[in-house]
Structure 1
Amino acid sequence: MIKLINRSLSVFLLLIIIFYFISPETPVSYAKNSADEYLVGMKKDADVQSILSAKKVKKKFKKKMKKQNTVIVELDEEEVKLLQKDSNVAFIEKNESVSIQTTISSQDTMDNTSMGSEVTPWGNVAIGANMLEENIKQGNGIKVAVLDTGIASHPDLRISGGVSFVEGSTSYSDENGHGTHVAGIISAQHNKEGIVGVATRADLYGIKVLNAAGNGTYAQVIQGIEWAIDNHMNIISMSFTGAADSEALHQVIKQASQAGIILIASAGNLGSGVETEMYPARYPEVVSVGATTQKNVRANLSSTGNELDIMAPGIDIYSTYKNGSYLQMSGTSMAVPYVTGAAAVLWSQDTSKSGQEIVNNLYSNSTPLGSPHDYGHGLVNLAKSLGLINSDIPAYDLGAYDSTQPEVPGGSEVQISAVTRGQLVLVSTTAPSTKSSYTKVDIGIDSPSSTRVCGTTLTGTFNAGSTVPSPAYSCSSSYSWPLGTYTVKFTFYYSGGTVPFQSSFTLTPEAPSLSTSYTSTRTSVNFSWNSVSGVTSYKIIKNGALEAQTSSTSYMMSALSPGSTYNVQVKAVDPSDSNSGAYSNTVPMTTKPALIAPNAPQISNITANSFIATWNAVPDVDQYKILINGALYSSYSSTIATITGLNSNTTYNVQVKAVDKYDPTSTSGATSAPAYPTTLQAPGPADFTATFVTSTTIKVSWSPYPGALSYNLVVNDGSVNTTYSSIQNTYTTVSSLTMGKTYTIKVYSNNASGTSLPSQLTVTTDGAGTLPMTIILIVDGQAVNAHPYKG
């Protein structure tokens, strides 16, 4: 994390970290403003050129504003005094400076490849922008003028146009990166790569009013606002600040407001105080935006005051950057585009509403966080403004740490970079202007325990304003260095004493290496990474959002969707700053495909108590379960099963369940549609025979049928059926028959599932005067059937 610590009014210190990106911006040095460049406002209908000629103003006339009778002109002190006495002159004011309000967080720039698939920045979640659905307009038709350092061409941005008011620059392209970062927060495209902005379909216009160093003038800002009015912009975003009040600037802001434009600006990065807000945010027509952290508290650097209107995420914000890359930045500069994007989304739902109605909606639905002096109306809540929710949004990360520090008005900005162990640190500074020159310089770097790890003494002549040392002093960091804050100390010596000053940098953990080998199921992935010395906690990042935190070097991510890819990173958390740390490489991890259910089983070879079921094989499945009427019958490794032990003449619900081999002990699996086979009727009893026949009786018998509860006998004499029901034995005698008549006799078994098929025989009773067909004789004690001879 870049930390702005221990400023000196006359010192600019730059730690250059080889192989590690420090800052995309030229170190802050306010825009070069000639002391005699003024904004001269004339009263209505006054002829500027005539007045300047009459006063014999010799200096250069530079430009006249379009929307007001104000000119930019170079004046000396005498000319200023002359014009102040002219009754046609409404005001004379210096053309003051404006500059960007940003610090650079502790990470390298990233490209699409290293980021993986599209990331939703934490700020989107904090304001509810991640809840927008496809059917909700997302800034459609809303024109947003980004007054900044321009906007660079970027694969994640759709730029509708722009203009430059920076001297010597004809293009609105961004050489600094700040304006591109702001533009991405507002409207990075929802295109499955990079990041996603808040108002993904808004029309972006790059209005370049700040140079490559992030500095500009009030005159450039006025021209940018005039352009926005002429080109019918809906919203103006201004992530910069100036220290001075300006009648000329306020006039054009009022004109833009009267034209229905919403103006949104940074409150400033001067921290807490009675009134630390800066211009143009202090004007009542402008929405003044402060910055919050992931804990939903005011960032240390965020300005406060009576004109503060609303808060938005502003610390450690990932967004687009120059050269097609991405970067994490902090400041009220990052908070402004969140409010801008929210206003664009809300306005696009109903463009008949006025800009003030949109602003009032954002105010009334914001989440109160504290006093209006420190928080305005509270944290912007886009989801609530849209009616998607009716509640506040909880803090994104209650354990987040804010290492930013307020800027010191008038001081030279100190840029401090996080350093990774094992890298080469080059240290240099600018000799202070306290004296014209110095004869000796001491340089030292002290560890968190105040032990000196590097140092040197230089002698010679060191002139004020020169870079010391040149080339920079080199210090090789070691992997044995403890994590924490290191102090960089400079002492400049002159004949009458010394000028000491110091600054700090944080030694952060190295990035862990996330293994590209992982195991997965259909709903989980299991992965590991190397241990980082001094680190006790790691954050798991899934698709750019915090998933979990662990002290282990492995983790199983569960409750995932089958057949889905997740971009996973591991962040080694800095023990001294839970919000800082180093991110691993990104590894796309894919869960196994969704388990496919087999087709409904095919049934064949049906009998009274069995059938065969077959089904199609399912990819990546080794085991199947047969379910009969919803209950488990048995498990099979093949795709065929013989089902036995069934009741006859019964319909069954038969299903096949593919068992998830990655979770075989659970109830998970995919079940087929059912088949409904019906078993056959049971066959009639076997060995059905007539055992004794007379002229009026027939005795029949049969073998027992398995599972039979009783038997039915049906006797047909050729025209009439006579039924004998619920016979408990396996034999019976039919009597009262007609002599010499033929009968058809059927026997049925009754079982739990119904009545079987019949067994049948035809028998004729004996005729008159004839011997019976069979006679039972006792031979040697044995009963035998004898057939009398018929001659």
Structure 2
Amino acid sequence: MASFKVKVSLLNVRTGPVEDFTDKKNVIGKLKTEAPFESIDEKTNKLGTWYKDANQHWVWGEGLIIKENKADFVRPEKVETQPTFTKVIIDAQEYLNKRFDGEKLTAQIDYNFLLNIESTFKNNMGSGIKVAILDTAISKHISFRNKVERPFASGAASDHGTFISGIIAGADKISGIAPNVTLIELPLYNSYGFIQDDDTIKKYFDFINKSNELIILNISQADVLKQFEAELSNLKKCIIVASAGINNDLQNQDLFFPAKLQNAISVGSVTKNFASLALNTSFNRQLNFILPSFNYVSYTNAGQIEFEIDTSSFSTAVITSIVALIAAEDNTFDLNLIRSKITTLAQPYSDKNKIISLNPLIPSK
């Protein structure tokens, strides 16, 4: 590992080396003069040496200078230094728009890469973790890395559950944040498109409680499960991640159900326009995390790719994925501990510069 700092006024941050500087397709951000850069790998081509950091960011070596390390002058004893990680703010919408124009995908979309957190949290990519999608059925046309578990009869064909699944566990053209998780399909709607009867939904909760494995339950459908408050509140070995709504929804006296439950991680989203106008926003105190609203890209039920406007469903999928990464890395399902760990990865909502990034925001700061 080598420690550098940026010596030029602005240095492009890329997803990989290029052989022509005019090729800007893989530029995802910029570093300013004096910004630190910790290299873990390097590659040389006709333009010179390129350096990569722990977050898979590449920069051109001629824009860097070796950073003085005072420890180099301390010889009597070995000094262990902890690596620092360069935080590059990636414009998520620009990243998505460059790769998909609404009709054609020009490059792979990698949500795992787009989530700019320390690589140690990404090592296992959700391996060994199960994520239940309580939503519309998941398409059988998508090749996820692990086979989707379908313990119940499949429900109505619709894009919503499949779109969410792509953000979490997609592979190939759409790479999810936690592609190594195993998805469990819990269709909230039957084959006719109507919400499942109460007995069927209760069987879903019985299934979770009887499971020998810990399960993350992703719920995006607000308020349609109110009659199951007791069952949801008493789920064992399960972390609920639930959608809390968008913009003004997050200021209401009550959050959407089941995001309002004490044993749920509540997730909302805000548009850039709302964030710029609502300067002194006061959010519901039960709200845990916010993500900026984007036009996400993922799979349809027919296996095609499309844009969808976020209504906090897809922000919920992002937090579900982060929970899976943490659980896989730390082997923990302690709700308070996981909330705390996500908070350490988040940025304060008050910093409006972060509204362009996929990373979670903390509403209370």
Q: TM-score, normalising length from structure 1?
A: 0.29
Report the CA distance between 1:337 and its aligned residue.
0.6
| Whole-angstrom CA distance in 2 between matches of 1:133 and 1:352 | 15
Using the TM superposition, give the Cα deviation of residue 365 of structure 1 relative to its aligned residue in structure 2, in angstroms.
3.6
Structure 1 residues 562-599: Cα deviation after superposition (integer angstroms, max 9, x where no partner) = xxxxxxxxxxxxxxxxxxxxxxxxxxxxxxxxxxxxxx
For the 8 Å contact 2:242–2:316, the answer to whether it is kept is yes
CA distance in 1, matches of 2:189, 2:319: 21
Q: State how 1:733-752 maps to structure 2 within 5 Å.
A: none
Match of 2:303 among 318, 321, 324: 324
Task: Structure 2: state its 5+ residue gaps.
Answer: 1-96, 358-365
Supply the distance in 1 between the matched residues of 2:348 and 2:216 (Cα, whole angstroms): 24
Alpha-carbon spacing, 1:212–1:396, altered in 2? closer, same or farther (3 Å): farther
> Does 2:137 match 1:150?
yes
Partner residue in 1 for 2:161: 179
Q: Deviations over 1:583-621 (max 9, x none)?
A: xxxxxxxxxxxxxxxxxxxxxxxxxxxxxxxxxxxxxxx
Aligned-partner SS, 1:240: coil
State the shift of 1:293 in Å.
4.0
The answer on 1:396 being equivalent to 2:359 is no
1:311 correspondence with 2:298: no
2:349 aligns with 369
Corresponding letter in the other structure for 1:179: G
Q: How much does 1:153 deviate?
A: 1.8
Could you list the structure 1 runs, at least 4 aligned residues long, displaced by more than 6 angstroms after superposition.
110-113
Secondary structure of the corresponding residue to residue 248 of structure 2: coil
SS in 2 for 1:362: helix
Following superposition, the deviation at residue 295 of structure 1 comes to 8.1
8 Å CA contact retained: 1:260, 1:354: no
Q: Among all aligned residue pairs of Structure 1 and Structure 2, give the percentage whose two residues are the same amino acid.
A: 20
Provide the C-alpha distance between the structure 2 equivalents of 1:349 and 1:361, rounded to a whole number of angstroms: 12
Contact 1:267 1:289 (8 Å CA) reproduced? yes
Distance 2:256 2:242 in 1: 9
Please tell me whether Structure 1 or Structure 2 has the larger radius of gyration of its CA atoms.
1
Deviations 1:45-75 (A, max 9, x none): xxxxxxxxxxxxxxxxxxxxxxxxxxxxxxx
Q: Does structure 2 retain, via aligned residues, the 8 Å contact 1:236–1:263?
A: yes
CA distance 1:233–1:316, change in 2 (3 Å): same
Q: CA 1:263–1:298 in structure 2 vs 1: closer, same or farther (change >3 Å)?
A: farther
Contact 1:292 1:314 in 2 (8 A): yes
TM-aligned CA deviation for residue 240 of structure 1: 0.5
Match of 2:104 among 99, 114, 129: 114
Task: Find the residue that maps to 1:115 and give its secondary structure.
Answer: coil
Is 1:224 the counterpart of 2:204? The answer is: yes
**Matched residue, 1:437:** none
Inter-CA distance 260–233: structure 2 relative to 1 (3 Å threshold): closer
Cα distance change of structure 1 residues 177 and 299 upon mapping to structure 2, 3 Å threshold: farther
Structure 1 unaligned blocks of 5 or more = 1-106, 165-169, 371-377, 380-392, 398-791
Q: Does the 8 Å CA contact 1:295/1:395 hold for their aligned counterparts?
A: no
Contact 1:160 1:204 in 2 (8 A): yes
Distance 2:193 2:316 in 1: 16
**Displacement of 1:218:** 7.9
Change (3 A) 1:367 1:156: farther
1:161 and 2:139 correspond: no
2:155 pairs with 1:128:
no
Look up the match of 1:288.
Answer: 266
Equivalent residue, structure 1, for 2:237: 260
Native 8 Å contact 1:291 1:313 kept in 2: yes
Amino acid at match of 2:161: G
TM-fit CA distance, 1:175:
0.6
Displacement of 1:350: 1.7
SS of 1:161's equivalent in the other structure is coil
SS in 2 for 1:307: coil
Shift of 1:335: 0.9
Taking structure 1 as reference, are residues 287 and 124 closer, same or farther at Cα in structure 2, changes over 3 Å only? Answer: farther
The residue matched to 1:290 in structure 2 has which SS?
A: strand
- Relative distance call for 1:155 and 1:335 in structure 2 (3 A) is same
Q: Cα–Cα, structure 1 residues 179 and 213, in superposed 2: closer, same or farther, change >3 Å?
A: farther
Classify 1:148/1:369 alpha carbon distance in 2 versus 1 (closer, same or farther; 3 Å): same
Check the 8 A contact 1:148/1:209 in 2, yes or no: yes
Question: 2:128·2:328 contact (CA, 8 Å) conserved in 1?
Answer: yes
Match of 2:184 among 195, 205, 216: 205
CA distance in 2, matches of 1:324, 1:310: 30
Deviations 1:198-242 (A, max 9, x none): 101111111111246865268354432322222334200001111
Distance 2:140 2:154 in 1: 11
Q: Which has the higher contact order (CA 8 A, sep 6+)?
A: 2
Deviation at 1:269, TM superposition (A): 4.6
Question: Contact 1:160–1:203 (CA<8 Å) still a contact in 2?
Answer: yes
Q: Which one of 200, 215, 229 corresponds to residue 234 of structure 1?
A: 215
Change (3 A) 1:132 1:215: farther
CA change 1:135–1:270 in 2 (3 A) is closer
Q: Is the 8 A contact 1:292 1:299 kept in 2?
A: no
Q: 1:342 to 1:352 in 2, by over 3 A?
A: closer
2:169 and 2:178 in contact (8 A); partners too: yes
Aligned length: 252
Find the counterpart in structure 1 of residue 317 from structure 2.
337
What amino acid does structure 2 have at the position aligned with 1:337?
A
**1:315/1:146 CA distance change after superposition, 3 Å:** same
